Amino acid sequence: MSRFIWQGPWGGLEVKARDGAIVASRFIASSPRPAPAPLPAPWRRMDNLPVALTGTGFQHAVWQALAALGWGATTSYGELAHQLGCPSAARAVAGAVARNPVPVLLPCHRVVRRDGRLGGYLGGLHRKKRLLAWEQASMPELPTIRIIQCE
């Protein structure tokens, strides 16, 4: 297993990888940078970033929907549930979003409450605000996420 620290407007993000795919990330204490440092090789120049995740089928469906969210866009838990064909499953969607094993890479920070309020965030509301502000002020710089389902 390899690991690296990726610095950006979120502060520090410890990213873990195995067999060429990212498997986890978590926030660590550090000062934010205005823009992210480039991803280290081998991911720096990839068109899509392989992310190997372990979870239920429903969690994978939610994580795939997160990966498809547009840069700087927001959605609600209810909208995601409706998009997945489970309009009454907003709470289950929220649970899957909260279990996102790769924050920043899968943009769970783009999910807000139905009334538009930011709601919570596993990295803290201050990071969610920074991430959304950075995205709305910049052009996309992150590769597309390609989720590999692990058993």
> Looking at 23, 49, 108, 147, which residue is catalytic?
108
Coil, strand or helix at 77 = helix
CB contact at 8 A, 52 and 116: no
Is 150 among the residues known to form the active site?
A: no
DSSP class per residue in 10-71: TEEEEEEEETTEEEEEEEES----SSPPPPPTTTTT-SEEEEEEE--HHHHHHHHHHHTSPT
Residue 97: CB atoms within 10 Å: 25
Cite the active site residues.
108
